[in-house]
């Protein structure tokens, strides 16, 4: 017998999960998502969220409240008589009245190996910290931030040069499959939960634009992690000089230069931090060096480092800041 499900999500990450639950035969009685936001070059067009658009394609009623704290919103939610709410990257806090409304409570699909990286930006923070493994978990929600007991886990290796965008795309189908499994077990009465340990808990705070500029004085491994952890959005960046005028350069892909590990100061890093060391766009860091692979000038398309060097005539000895 299919479960009555309320689905709550907003960006593209939850879309495969919504689609998979529908295809699994569950009755999605409503979708909750963030209201349409201003978009477009001038910010004048209201654009529905990816989850909103997918719900429309599936013919599911959509609700876009600004908050769930009001009595009217809470009563409308209760009136849906859901067996369970599935929450994946929704973006609003759920008060106790919402958490308690569905018969089986609320299940959350979270993109980390809890308790590591609770919070808003677990994918980016895992890469920026140099983690070599992460995953997705299904947990039962409670009032604490990502503190509820865990039901199911899927682990994923983080490659040495993997970007946040690539990890995001790898975890989307994993989250969908795990949530389908969770609801099947919930329906069968076999879904168990294990409390999270408090040891190792870390908070994945939202990415602040103020932290996106590259600090070349840091070790090469940290610079590399910073670049790939912020790619493609919002993007790590630096500045380079063109005719005496600084120009912003977005850094989308990098790799460690040979001999430029976290504890290495090898020959590749024998210039001051930010110095261009060769025509392959190898950049000296505090220790070691990174080689830029893909970059993007403001208002231009993303290009390979070699194409950028040809167009900018950036030569060895130039400085990035």
CATH number for the domain including 158? 3.40.50.170
Q: Answer whether residue 319 is part of any domain.
A: no
Question: Tokens in use for 210?
Answer: 């103020």
Separation of alpha carbons 320 and 247, rounded Å: 10
Q: Examine the fold and report which residue of 142, 173, 203 is the final residue of a domain before the chain moves on.
A: 203
> Which residue range forms the structural domain that includes residue 187?
4-203
> What confidence score (pLDDT) does residue 315 get?
81
Q: Answer whether residue 11 is part of any domain.
A: yes
Are 8 and 151 part of one and the same domain?
Answer: yes
pLDDT in tens, 214-226: 999 999 999 999 9
pTM of structure: 0.92
112 annotated among ligand-binding-site residues: yes
Q: Examine the fold and report which residue of 203, 237, 257 is the final residue of a domain before the chain moves on.
A: 203
Greater confidence (210 vs 309) lies with: 210
Give the model's confidence band at 84: pLDDT under 50 very low, under 70 low, under 90 confident, else very high. very high
Are 227 and 199 part of one and the same domain?
Answer: no
Mean pLDDT of the region 259-284: 69
Are 116 and 220 part of one and the same domain?
Answer: no
114 annotated among ligand-binding-site residues: yes
Buried b (16+ CB within 10 A) or exposed e, 54-84: bbeeeebebbebeebeeeebbeebeebebbb
DSSP-derived pairing of the beta strands 27-32 and 62-63: parallel
pLDDT in tens, 271-281: 799 999 988 89
115 annotated among ligand-binding-site residues: yes
Under 8 Å between Cβ of 221 and 261: yes
Q: What is the dihedral of CA 309, 310, 314, 316, to 10 degrees?
A: 80
> What confidence score (pLDDT) does residue 34 get?
96
């Amino acid at each position: 017998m299919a479960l009555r499900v309320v689905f709550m999500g907003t960006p593209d990450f939850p879309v495969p999960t919504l689609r998979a639950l529908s295809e699994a035969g569950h009755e999605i009685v409503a979708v909750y998502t963030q209201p349409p936001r201003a978009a477009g070059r001038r910010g004048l067009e209201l654009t529905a969220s990816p989850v909103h658009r997918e719900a429309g394609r599936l013919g599911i009623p959509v609700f876009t409240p600004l908050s769930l704290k009001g009595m009217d919103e809470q009563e409308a939610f209760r009136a849906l008589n859901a067996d369970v709410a599935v929450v994946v990257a929704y973006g609003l806090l759920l008060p106790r009245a919402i958490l308690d409304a569905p018969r089986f409570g609320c299940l959350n699909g979270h993109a980390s190996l809890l308790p590591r990286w609770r919070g808003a930006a677990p994918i980016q923070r895992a890469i920026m910290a140099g983690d070599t493994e992460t995953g997705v978990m299904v947990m039962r929600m409670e009032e604490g931030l990502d503190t509820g007991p865990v039901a199911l886990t899927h682990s994923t290796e983080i490659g040495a040069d993997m970007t946040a965008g690539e990890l995001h795309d790898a975890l989307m189908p994993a989250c969908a499959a795990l949530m389908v499994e969770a609801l099947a077990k919930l329906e069968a009465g076999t879904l168990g939960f294990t409390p999270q340990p408090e040891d190792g808990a870390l908070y994945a705070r939202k990415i602040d634009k103020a932290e996106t500029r590259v600090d070349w004085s840091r070790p090469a491994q940290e610079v590399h992690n910073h670049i790939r952890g912020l790619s493609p959005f919002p993007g790590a960046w630096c500045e380079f000089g063109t005719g005496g005028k600084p120009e912003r350069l977005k850094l989308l892909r990098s790799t460690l230069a040979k001999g430029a590990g976290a504890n290495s100061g090898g020959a590749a890093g024998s210039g001051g931090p930010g110095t261009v060391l060769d025509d392959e766009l190898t950049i000296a860091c505090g220790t070691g060096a990174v080689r830029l692979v893909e970059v993007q000038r403001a208002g231009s398309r993303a290009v390979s480092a070699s194409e950028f060097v040809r167009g900018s005539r950036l030569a060895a000895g130039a400085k990035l800041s």
